[in-house]
Amino acid sequence: MGVIVYVLAQVLFYQGLKIVPSTHAGIILLLEPVSAAILASIFLGEAITLGLIVGGILILIANAIVILQSEKK
């Protein structure tokens, strides 16, 4: 079952790259750990630790910097 989900995710990702520029896909891909932590907390009851919060904030700040710099160009 896990293999099917993995293959489906990869196929959808590469299909999306045909539509979305790779730079935008890279920025979106950086949000994966943050969304995974949030979803794990909601659906699996995983604890959100201070390190997880700090890491998530750093990822969001990095995304904001990349987005703002790309808008200036």
**Rounded distance between C-alpha atoms, residue 72 and residue 44, angstroms:** 40
Per-residue pLDDT of the chain (73 residues; tens, 9 = 90+): 689 989 998 999 889 888 888 777 888 888 888 999 999 999 999 999 999 999 999 999 988 888 888 777 6
**Alpha-carbon torsion angle 21, 19, 9, 64, nearest 10:** 40
**Can you spell out the DSSP letters for 30-53?**
TTHHHHHHHHHHHHH-----HHHH
- Answer whether 0.75 is exceeded by the pTM: no
Instruction: State residue 73's pLDDT score.
Output: 67
Tell me how many domains the chain contains.
1
**Structural domain that includes position 11:** 2-72
The total of other beta-carbon atoms located within 10 Å of residue 13's CB is: 12
Structure tokens at 62: 């990095």
**Helices 22-29 and 2-17: crossing angle, nearest 10°?**
140
